[in-house]
Amino acid sequence: MKALDMLYFYLSPSTLLPNLPKSRGELSPNYLTGEYAWILQTYLVLKEKNVPCELVSKFPDKGIVVVHRSHIPKDYRPNNATLLVCVQADYSLHWWAQAHVVQNKAALKRNLIWSLRHLFPPTRDTYIRHWPQPNLVPRSSERGNRFENLAFFGTELNMDPYLRSNEWLGHIKNLGLNWLPKFDPKTWHDYNDVDCIVAVRSFSEKPKSWKPPTKLFNAWLAGAPIIVEPYSAYFEERRSENDFCVSKDPAELVDWVQKLKTSPTLREKFVNAGRSRVKDCSVDTIAQTWIDTLNGTWLPLLDKWQESPVHRNLFFLRAFLGNCFSI
């Protein structure tokens, strides 16, 4: 990579702290919030892959700068030598970013509609899988065919209220199972004693086109079946009906739990299907997607941005219209 085209990962001065982790393996729960999970983690992985890049707390004057959406100042505008790559995460697009990274493929279509990119084409959005949980401990092979422990991974606020109800707890007890929700971030990497993951944020039909399928990736890597709610990110990743179980309501959730408990063969189908997908969501595969996007999309876009005033003017017109009219 030319010095002019240096790759930067930006963290705000308040988050670019001294003594940050030096490798992905050192990432603790304190460093798994959005900006760290996307920016710091990606920087650490690409650095280990010998990609020339730098972690900064000041926007560079030239090159490619990758920034979490929440860290882009409202008044920031890319100059004639800088390509701004916005990691959109759970947020809306940023009008002044020439490129976006999205964590759900549905966001690609949404961005296209909202940003008039069919009229002003000099922008690029790319779906890149979210990194799986660092230091993930898979389900212990010593558990064999045991099916006893069901778990939810995440904050209690992000778990459907039904999973706290006496009705759900009663079903679990009657089936002779244990409900072990893991609300503490310090436990989110540990699937050692988990026989099935219940990944239901909400049974609401409200679209969740911004959320990533990370819980699915973690389940595949952990070697345990997973029951998910029907939102787009999961279906975008589906290659087989055995990749995951889908529950659209509490009754269907209980039905899946009963089926899995009574059929080791069914459980094995889901585990084997997940095992066949591990490579797709591995750190190496995701890192290669970043590298391919850098070389195949962002560097050519930066060259065009630097060399073409017409290209820049069209982009600035679109951004201006978007900001003015919230199109």
Whichever domain contains 158, its CATH number is: 3.40.50.2000
Question: Are residues 99 and 200 both part of a single domain?
Answer: no
Task: Tell me what pLDDT residue 183 has.
Answer: 97
Which residues does 25 contact at the CB level (< 8 Å), separation at least 6?
134, 135
Instruction: Tell me which of 20-24, 268-272, 297-301, 315-319 is least confident.
Output: 315-319
In terms of Cβ atoms closer than 10 Å to its own Cβ (0-12, 13-18, 19+), residue 123 is buried
Q: Are residues 61 and 82 in the same domain?
A: yes
Q: In 163-222, where does DSSP find H-type helix?
A: 166-174, 214-222
How many percent of the chain have pLDDT more than 90? 76
Residues 6+ apart with CB under 8 A from 50: none
Radius of gyration of the chain (CA): 21
- How far is CA 88 from its chain centroid? 10
Name which of 93-102, 108-117, 155-164, 183-192 the model is least confident about.
108-117
* Greater pLDDT, 119 or 22: 22
pLDDT at residue 5 tops 90: no
pLDDT at 216 over 80: yes
Q: Which of 260, 280, 300 is the last residue of a domain?
A: 280
Do 218 and 170 share a structural domain? yes
Alpha-carbon distance values, 312 to 37, 92, 174, 276 (Å): 31, 22, 64, 44
Number of domains into which the chain is organized: 2
233-237 contacts: CB < 8 A, separation 24 or more?
233/103, 233/104, 233/105, 233/106, 233/208, 236/104, 236/105, 236/106, 237/213, 237/277, 237/280
CA separation for the pair 327, 153 (Å, rounded): 37
Question: How much is the pLDDT for 261?
Answer: 98
pTM: 0.92
Statement to judge: residues 20 and 112 lie in one domain: yes
What is the rounded CA–CA span in Å between residue 162 and residue 187? 22
In this predicted model, what pLDDT tens digit does every residue of 139-191 receive, in sequence order? 999 999 999 999 999 999 999 999 999 999 999 999 999 999 999 999 999 99
| Contact yes or no for 114/318 (Cβ under 8 A) | no
Same structural domain for residues 298 and 270?
A: no
Task: Please check the confidence at residue 113 and state whether its pLDDT lies above 60.
Answer: no
In which domain, by residue range, is 24 found? 3-132+282-325
Q: Is 243 left (phi over 0), alpha (psi -120 to 50) or beta?
A: alpha
pLDDT digits (tens, 9 = 90+) for 231-264: 889 999 999 999 999 999 999 999 999 999 999 9
Contact 144, 172 (CB under 8 A): no
Q: Are residues 15 and 125 in the same domain?
A: yes
Do 51 and 148 reside in the same domain of the chain? no
Q: What six digits make up the tokens of 259? A: 């089926």
**To which residue do tokens 């391919």 refer?**
292
Q: Is the same domain home to 27 and 63? A: yes
145 and 270 assigned to the same domain: yes
Instruction: Examine the domain organization and report whether 239 and 119 are in the same domain.
Output: no
Q: What pLDDT, on a 0 to 100 scale, did the predictor assign at position 92?
A: 83
By the 8 A CB rule, do 315 and 98 touch? yes
**pLDDT at residue 3 tops 80:** no
Tokens, residue 178 = 């244990």
